[in-house]
Structure 1
Amino acid sequence: MAKIKAGVATSHVPAIGAAIDNGITDNEYWKPLFEGYDYAKEWIKEQKPDVVLLVYNDHATAFDSNLVPTFAIATGEEFKPADEGWGPRPVPNVKGYPEFASHIAQSVIQDDFDLTVVNTLDVDHGLTVPLSLMFGQPENWPCKVIPIAVNVVLYPTPSGQRCYNLGKALRKAVESFDEDLNVQIWGTGGMSHQLQGPRAGLINKEFDNAFLDDIVDDAENLALKPHLEYINLAGSEGIELIMWLVMRGALNDEVELKKRHYHVPASNTAVGHLVLENK
């Protein structure tokens, strides 16, 4: 059967993608951030996932205020990089896995999660930046990707508990697929940041590091954290961290921490990164 063997968490700051695309990852500003991903790049070469379930949020490119699915799964054959206003990123198209994605949708919807099924989808930096951080700049991405979008842009957003439970439903769906697949799940977004208003540029290192600790060792309680705590302590965009809970819910209760990286700043954002393997 298919099996989720590992999880990855990472921020998906658009400026990171721009630094990669413009070849400035070794300059004084960016080098400390990218060095934190050296381990993951070597690790994933050894792991060789067949499929990545990539949990991310769309930034008003595929979805907007006219259509805001709380949870969506993309079941298409291929997904193009989105034009976010300055042209698509110069990265490969993302190859999907329609049969597996459709199976997951069937299982998860029957498990009482009302996923929106999307067949045609352009993917923005929320999805492509994590791929670049983990795989570099290949001619083609080395595995198939199933995009799973979560609404963290317009309220109401799902609770942390709901996201954590979705992860558990995804694990059940994966393990009921009758094909021998090495599957990873990635949770993206965050960490603390706010892009507008009087608190623009907010970064809360204490909150971020506590979150990095708790998602590894105390995920059950972390899932209960209320939205107001994210907003008050991590900024308006800090709510993206609930997508990490989808990843964590899909893993075993006990995991092995293989890599932890935290860096400030990247643009006006705190960057967090974890590599977790199931015990």
Structure 2
Amino acid sequence: MANIIGAVTTSHIPAIANAMANGLEQTPYWKPFFDAYPPVRDWLNEKKPDVIILFYNDHGLEFFIDKKPTFAMGVADEYHNADEGWGIPTIPPVTGESELSWHIANSIVDEGFDMTICQEMKVDHGLTVPLNLMWPGHQYGHVKVIPVCINCEQYPMPQPWRTFELGRAIGRAVQSYEEDINVVVFGTGGMSHQLDGERAGFINRAFDIDCLDKLVSDPEALTKYTNMDLVEQGGAQAVELNMHIAMRGTLLGKVTELHRNYHAPISNTGSGLMLLEHEMPKGE
């Protein structure tokens, strides 16, 4: 069967792409952020996963406010980036994985998740920044990517319990896939942050660190939060924690934390990096 060997949480803020494009990684502002990534890169280069399942949210490139699916996933062989208006250079295409994608799509729809299935899909910084963080210099073409997009921009949005159950369903789908491949799951996005309004710049470090702890040892506790709880505790954009929660849902077996870093503020955001090793349950 296919094997989920691990998972990663990472920020995806567009300023990261600009910093990398301009060689700013070792400047005083960025150094504490970028210095945390080599252990995760080393692990990925050692394990050489075949597929990345990447949870992210689209910021208006593919899905705008007039059409906003609750959940969407790509089943294409290739995904293209485009100009989003952030000044980020357009980057090379991302390699897709259509066979496992279709298997997951069929499996989770059978379980009651009404996914929007995308045979063509542009991907924005929510997906491309994490890939370039892990394989700098756009050296990600060798790994196949399955994008799973969660609405975190416009109400109504899925609640944490539902995103966790989506992750569970995807984990079961991977487990039932007969081809012997290794999969790593990315949960991307900011932790606490608010980009506008009266609380612009709000960051709750204690809440972020507690969430990182619970992602390892008690993920079900995070499903007790509502989206409004996340907004109250972590700011308006803290609903992006739903990508971390969905990622954790895919891990059906034993989880071991290998690496962690928390840094704030970075572009007015709390950034949590975590590497989790995963052992798939046997005989299920």
What amino acid maps onto 2:131 in structure 1?
L
The secondary structure found in structure 2 opposite 1:269 is: coil
Matched-pair contact (CA < 8 Å) for 1:92–1:139 = no
* Runs (5+) with no aligned partner, structure 1: none
Matched-pair contact (CA < 8 Å) for 1:92–1:140 = no
Matches within 5 A, 1:26-37: 26-37=26-37
How far residue 142 of structure 1 moved from its aligned partner, in angstroms, is: 2.6
Matched-pair contact (CA < 8 Å) for 1:49–1:182 = yes
What amino acid maps onto 1:221 in structure 2?
A
CA gap 1:228/1:273 in 2 versus in 1, 3 angstroms = same
Match in the other structure for 1:278 = 278
Matched-pair contact (CA < 8 Å) for 1:82–1:88 = no
Deviation digits for residues 104-134 of structure 1 (CA, Å, limit 9, x no counterpart): 1001100111110011111110001111111
Match in the other structure for 1:256 = 256
Match in the other structure for 1:167 = 167
Match in the other structure for 2:183 = 183
Matched-pair contact (CA < 8 Å) for 1:190–1:241 = yes
Q: Tell me how far apart the structure 2 counterparts of residues 89 and 211 of structure 1 sit (CA, whole Å).
A: 32
CA gap 1:140/1:214 in 2 versus in 1, 3 angstroms = closer
How far residue 63 of structure 1 moved from its aligned partner, in angstroms, is: 0.2
How far residue 138 of structure 1 moved from its aligned partner, in angstroms, is: 3.8
Match in the other structure for 1:51 = 51
Deviation digits for residues 222-272 of structure 1 (CA, Å, limit 9, x no counterpart): 111122211111000001001111110101353100011100121111111
Q: Tell me how far apart the structure 2 counterparts of residues 19 and 177 of structure 1 sit (CA, whole Å).
A: 39
The secondary structure found in structure 2 opposite 1:267 is: coil
Number of aligned residues: 279
Deviation digits for residues 45-101 of structure 1 (CA, Å, limit 9, x no counterpart): 011000000000000110011111111110111111121025663432101011211
Tell me the TM-score normalized by structure 2. Answer: 0.95
How far residue 7 of structure 1 moved from its aligned partner, in angstroms, is: 0.8
Match in the other structure for 1:18 = 18
What amino acid maps onto 1:132 in structure 2?
N
CA gap 1:253/1:220 in 2 versus in 1, 3 angstroms = farther
Q: Tell me how far apart the structure 2 counterparts of residues 266 and 142 of structure 1 sit (CA, whole Å).
A: 29
Detail structure 1 runs of 4+ shifted over 4 Å in the superposition.
none
Match in the other structure for 2:282 = none
Match in the other structure for 2:220 = 220
Match in the other structure for 2:209 = 209
After TM superposition, the structure 1 stretch with the greater mean CA deviation from structure 2, 81-90 or 118-127, is 81-90
Tell me the TM-score normalized by structure 1. Answer: 0.97
Q: Tell me how far apart the structure 2 counterparts of residues 195 and 183 of structure 1 sit (CA, whole Å).
A: 33
Q: Tell me how far apart the structure 2 counterparts of residues 205 and 246 of structure 1 sit (CA, whole Å).
A: 21
How far residue 221 of structure 1 moved from its aligned partner, in angstroms, is: 1.5
Q: State the percentage of identical aligned residues.
A: 45
What RMSD in Å do the two structures reach over aligned CA positions?
1.3
The secondary structure found in structure 1 opposite 2:157 is: coil
* Runs (5+) with no aligned partner, structure 2: 280-284
Matched-pair contact (CA < 8 Å) for 1:93–1:140 = no
Match in the other structure for 2:234 = 234
